[in-house]
């Protein structure tokens, strides 16, 4: 191993020791008030989903929360850790932010920035349902600003918004469902690889990459796709006040630029985050409101250590590359996704 690796290992070992001592000290020094966080806990905190950063000063009793979805909407099961922060979209953290908004009576409006090609069917539905819950329980206005792309699942989660802004060049739409897999059976024959699969039922290995799908199997999977597609159409119809037929007419999976999306009724106006925020303030009587966002890194000592380790070992380590490879080889799943 080179010097950088040895240094990284040394830092990791030191962090583990410090973390263990910290937890012991925190337990011994904890007060009767369970909600009071000790200084040591604050410094070493790794779960900072509710930490806030004020973007614009204003009325603290009438606030606007700014949220962001940047990247594929997937729950990878990862979260911020002592040895490395999360990269890109973090589903657990984002859902925590939505729940914090639901519980915070000082929040009077929400601006959601979306820059995503979409993602998982379940994750997209979970976000949309939470947004609807917030709107129903708290009567909060939700405005959305699209980035360069807000396609498929990115549009699905935005559909309940009171108003959607996008650039004329934004790529959006892609209303539909996709499930992909690969058939390596012919290649396996050429290189002399055979498959030995023992299964409890004839459909247990449906969409296996070691054999072609049968017509019956394709029909089974198509029925699942059709169900999820119908749900997507319903979500758009309800959110955009369109009929089912109107949505299906434009929901053939194609993407639209911002101009086409506006003509089709998928967005309300042209603009960026700044214009969306100004409109939210003006139209929802929120002038003078404090504007803030949630800081998922939290600025804790743990995040500082994480940054140092990342700089030493590099973000794209062998382990990280291995995880990416495994994700690419995962079992086929239903996706509200444009591209792959």
- The residues assigned a catalytic role are 152, 204
Which residues 6+ apart lie within 8 Å of 187 measured at CB? Answer: none
Token pair 């000063």 is at which residue? Answer: 57
Residue 181 is classified by DSSP as -
What the block records as the tokens of 73 is 């909407």
Q: What is the CB-side half-sphere exposure of residue 301 using CA atoms within 13 A?
A: 11
202, exposed or middle or buried, with CB in 10 Å at 0-12, 13-18, 19+?
exposed
Q: Which of 137, 292, 254 is nearest to 129 (CA)?
A: 137
Phi, psi of 313 (to 5 degrees): -90, -15
Check: CB of residue 119 under 8 Å from CB of residue 73.
Answer: yes
CA distances from 169 to 172, 185, 254, 258, 261 (A): 9, 41, 15, 5, 10
């Amino acid at each position: 191993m080179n010097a950088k690796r040895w240094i990284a290992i040394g830092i990791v070992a030191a962090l583990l020791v410090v973390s263990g001592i910290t937890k012991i000290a925190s337990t011994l020094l904890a007060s009767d008030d369970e909600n009071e966080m000790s200084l040591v806990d604050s410094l070493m905190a790794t779960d900072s989903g509710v930490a806030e950063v004020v973007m614009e000063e204003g009325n603290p009793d009438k606030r606007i929360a700014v949220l962001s979805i940047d990247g594929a909407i997937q729950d990878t099961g990862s979260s911020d850790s002592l040895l490395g922060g999360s990269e890109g979209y973090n589903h657990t953290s984002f859902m925590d932010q939505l729940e914090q908004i639901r519980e915070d009576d000082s929040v009077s409006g929400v601006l959601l920035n979306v820059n995503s090609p979409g993602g998982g069917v379940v994750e997209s539905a979970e976000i949309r349902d939470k947004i609807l819950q917030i709107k129903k329980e708290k009567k909060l206005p939700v405005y959305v600003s699209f980035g360069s792309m807000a396609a498929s699942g990115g549009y699905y989660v935005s559909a309940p918004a009171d108003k959607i802004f996008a650039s004329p060049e934004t790529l959006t739409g892609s209303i539909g469902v996709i499930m992909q897999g690969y058939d390596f059976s012919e290649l396996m024959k050429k290189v002399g690889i055979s498959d030995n699969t023992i299964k409890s039922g004839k459909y247990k290995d449906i969409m296996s990459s070691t054999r072609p799908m049968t017509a019956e199997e394709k029909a089974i999977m198509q029925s699942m796709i059709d169900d999820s597609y119908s749900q997507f159409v319903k979500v758009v119809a309800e959110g955009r006040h369109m009929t089912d037929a109107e949505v299906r007419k434009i929901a053939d999976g194609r993407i639209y630029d911002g101009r086409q999306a506006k003509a089709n009724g998928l967005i309300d106006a042209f603009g960026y985050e700044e214009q969306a925020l100004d409109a939210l303030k003006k139209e929802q009587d929120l002038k003078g409101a404090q504007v803030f966002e949630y800081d998922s890194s939290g600025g804790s000592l743990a995040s500082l250590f994480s940054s140092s380790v990342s700089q030493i070992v590099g973000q794209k380590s062998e382990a990280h590359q291995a995880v990416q490879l495994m994700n690419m080889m995962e079992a086929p799943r239903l996706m509200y996704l444009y591209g792959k």
